Chains A and B, each alone.
Chain A
Amino acid sequence: DTAVSQTPKYLVTQMGNDKSIKCEQNLGHDTMYWYKQDSKKFLKIMFSYNNKELIINETVPNRFSPKSPDKAHLNLHINSLELGDSAVYFCASSQQADHAEAFFGQGTRLTVV
C-alpha cells in the first residue's frame, strides 16, 4: 500500500488555467507538507499543516491555496497558472511537526504551456 499518494502524476495545462493536486497519506501522521522542486532539483517547502491547521506558509503567492479536509488529506489548488509554476510538486507527511522522518509522495510534474 502506498503511504503517501498524490494525483495526478503528470499535469500539462495552459497558462491561466486553474488546477488541483490531491494528496492522501495512510500513515496516521499529524503533519503534511507541500514542497516544490525546481528544474535545478532545489526542494523548497511551500506549506505545512498540522492536524488540519496551517502552520507554515513560505511566502507562496496567493494563487496557491492548500486545503486540508482532514488530517489524512492535503490538496493544493493553483489559480491562474503561470509558466514559472512549472515544477515537480511533492506532498509529504511526518508523525509530528518536529520533523522526524518525512515520507514523500511520488511527485506531480506540472508543466504550464
Chain B
Amino acid sequence: SQQGEEDPQALSIQEGENATMNCSYKTSINNLQWYRQNSGRGLVHLILIRSNEREKHSGRLRVTLDTSKKSSSLLITASRAADTASYFCATDAKGAQKLVFGQGTRLTINP
C-alpha cells in the first residue's frame, strides 16, 4: 500500500506554541500535499511541495520533504485556536494519477 502514515495521530498544544506533524510514505512521488479539514467540512489545500524541493513556506506554515527518508513534516508556527482541525498529507505517486491520503493528525489548540 502506498498509504501515508501520519504522526502523531493527535496533538494538543497551547495557543502560541508551534505544532509539528510528520508524514511518511512508501513510494516515489511527484509531489506531496498537505490539507486541513475542519470538523464537518471538506478538505482545504494548504501547500504542495514537489519531489525536487526540500522546504517550502506559506505564511505560518513550513513544510519539509526528505525523499531519501520518504518523509515530510508540517510546522505551524505561533498556533491559534482557529488552527484546530485535522491535517492530512497526501502523496501523488509517480504514475498513479491519484492522491493517497494519510489518516491525519488531529490538532487541538487550547486557548
A residues adjacent to B (C-beta < 8 A): 4, 33, 35, 40-45, 48, 55-56, 58, 90, 92, 97-107
Contact = CB atoms under 8 A, between A and B. Distances in A.
Contacts of A101: 33, 45, 48
Contact of B30 (A33, A90, A98): A98
Interface in B7-33: 30-31, 33
B42 A90 contact: yes
Given A98-B92, A107-B40, 19 more contacts: A4-B42, A42-B103, A43-B88, A43-B104, A45-B98, A48-B97, A56-B97, A98-B97, A99-B30, A99-B31, A101-B45, A102-B99, A104-B35, A104-B42, A104-B43, A106-B41, A106-B42, A107-B41, A107-B42
A99 B103 contact: no
Interface residues of B, number: 24
A102 B45 contact: yes
